[in-house]
Amino acid sequence: MTTPDPTPFPIDHVIERGGDADPALALREGTLSFADLRTRVGELASWLREQGVEPGARIASWGAKGELTCLLPLAAPRAGLVHVPINPMLKRAQVAHILADSGASLLIGTPARLATLEAGDVPSECAIIGEVEALDASRSFDAMPASDAEPEEIAAILYTSGSTGKPKGVVLSHANMWLGAVSVAYYLDLESDDVTLAVLPLAFDYGQNQLFSTWYAGGCVAPLDYLMPRDVTKAVAKHRATTLAAVPPLWRQLVEAKWEDGAGDSLKRLTNSGGALTPDLIDAMRETWPQADIYPMYGLTEAFRSTFLDPSLVAAHPTSMGKAVPFAEVLVVKEDGSPAAAGEEGELVHCGPFVAKGYWRDPERTAERYKPAPAHSEYGGTAVWSGDYVKRDADGLLYFVGRRDAMIKSAGNRISPQEVEDAALATGLVADAVCFGVPDAMLGQAVHLVVRGAGEEDALKAALKRDLPSFMQPHAIEWRELLPLNPNGKIDRTALYREVSERLAA
């Protein structure tokens, strides 16, 4: 592709570049061409506009991958509304929080998921409709033309876990998402004949960008909800997929899967985020798909994508995060605000047009993460101070050092320790709870829960299984009669983490 154009557009224009007859969305029911896709997005946008919602209203979706979840990220902003995708793995308590926090006016979802909601979970002002009903109703509407929204208008709110508290909504503009699509399409060298197998959740920025970057390039997206690695291998073969994005635990499963009769030969690029690839996993990926380029990437929802490692450097620098993606400015900043020299540790600070507009209705937490850019920034303005500490070598390649906060990153999911602790305490089976992540070869980090109380472990596990999604479930629960305290009488989390880590490492 040519040098990327930094001019932002409304995000729904991302489907205007594909040829009318070219395939755009491969669904179980059949494949939509770009002409079909433009019509369906326009019809759904018109239907949304007629639902009695005000401009800027939040439209939530909670469903499996399919036509609705692929259309809504474009249809809602085309209608002047804000899309709030909800991870289909979340349970009713998390969904209730997101609906209340976002002030959603409409929830569209899979009937089976909607049936799990209880009285009080959905605000009285939020209407509910099943996805099939919504799609069927929209087909009788005339297609709304492409949006003329200002690029800085809000287009979506993506909920992500923080190190403390409940999920918080990251506010994204049309420009944030448009330029993210342009940047990724450029550095991945996506073309109109590419097919992206979209296995990642569309409620994540990494997953959602699978749609936008592929469509910007004029390619086709094949969404897939998988249960077993075999589902992925079969889908790659069926669609002749050229692009596959995943997180380290899935890559480990896929390199161990059977790729028969040339099933993976069509793959040209493998992209990774949500955790670092280890050298042994990179070797296994290169052996499994020798014809494919590997793109290790780093990002955070608050600023989308920060860095990628050029495939030509992966073999020689397997642990590097690479360099800034197009349009991003990535700085390494010392505690005094000055730039870190080569080999010096500093906080990764993200500047430029990917920086989101903050956390939805949460000025306090916004101020903690979104701060003025360092004086030496070329972009200036507001920057995202990531809390990740990195080093830059003499060649400009970045290397991860560690995190400032206690966020657990497991299988590509960001998990709030406090959310797990709150769920444990709410059961009434424990008096104290401390949650943290411990190293795990498959997951990156595993959720470890230490509790004090007289409850029964089976009862606690059953309650957590009921109230928390599967990726938040503790891999180990330790029961203690006493927990260490610091001089202020508070639980000494640092000492407890050190004790458990040293024991597990022994």
Assign residue 458 the CATH number of its domain.
3.30.300.30
> At 142, phi and psi to the nearest 5?
-70, 145
Asked if residue 416 belongs to a domain, the reply is yes
How far apart are alpha carbons 23 and 38 in whole angstroms? 12
* Beta-strand relationship, 243-246 and 269-272: parallel
Give me the residue label for tokens 């592929």. 214
Residue 167's pLDDT is what? 86
Asked if residue 500 belongs to a domain, the reply is yes
Asked if residue 388 belongs to a domain, the reply is no
* Beta-strand relationship, 370-372 and 382-392: antiparallel
Asked if residue 190 belongs to a domain, the reply is no
How far apart are alpha carbons 421 and 448 in whole angstroms? 11
pLDDT digits (tens, 9 = 90+) for 196-236: 999 999 999 999 999 999 999 999 999 999 989 999 999 99
Q: From its phi and psi, is residue 457 left (phi > 0), alpha (psi between -120 and 50) or beta? A: alpha
How far apart are alpha carbons 45 and 181 in whole angstroms? 21
Handedness of CA 179, 87, 224, 268 (dihedral sign): positive
Give me the residue label for tokens 């991945």. 188
**CA neighbor of 399 nearest in space, from 303, 318, 284, 302:** 318
Residue 220's DSSP bridge partners are: 195
Asked if residue 468 belongs to a domain, the reply is yes
How far apart are alpha carbons 271 and 245 in whole angstroms? 5
How far apart are alpha carbons 494 and 358 in whole angstroms? 29
Domain that holds residue 446: 408-505
Asked if residue 434 belongs to a domain, the reply is yes
pLDDT digits (tens, 9 = 90+) for 306-346: 999 999 999 999 999 999 999 999 999 999 999 999 999 99
Neighbours of 133 (CB within 10 A): 11
DSSP state, residue 3: S
The answer for residues whose C-beta is within 8 angstroms of residue 59's C-beta and 6 or more apart is 48, 53, 72, 76, 81, 82, 83, 84, 104, 105, 106, 108
Asked if residue 232 belongs to a domain, the reply is no
From first to last of the 506 residues of the chain, give the pLDDT tens digit. Answer: 678 999 999 999 999 999 999 999 999 999 999 999 999 999 999 999 999 999 999 999 999 999 999 999 999 999 999 999 999 989 999 999 999 999 999 999 999 999 999 999 999 999 999 999 999 999 999 999 999 999 999 999 999 876 556 789 999 999 999 999 999 999 999 999 999 999 999 999 999 999 999 999 999 999 999 989 999 999 999 999 999 999 888 898 999 999 999 999 999 999 998 878 888 899 999 999 999 999 999 999 999 999 999 999 999 999 999 999 999 999 999 999 999 999 999 999 999 999 999 999 999 999 999 999 999 999 999 999 999 889 999 999 999 887 777 788 899 888 888 889 989 988 999 988 999 999 998 999 999 999 998 889 999 999 999 999 999 999 999 999 999 987 656 788 888 998 999 999 88
- Domain tally, the chain: 1
Asked if residue 274 belongs to a domain, the reply is no
Type of residue at 131? E
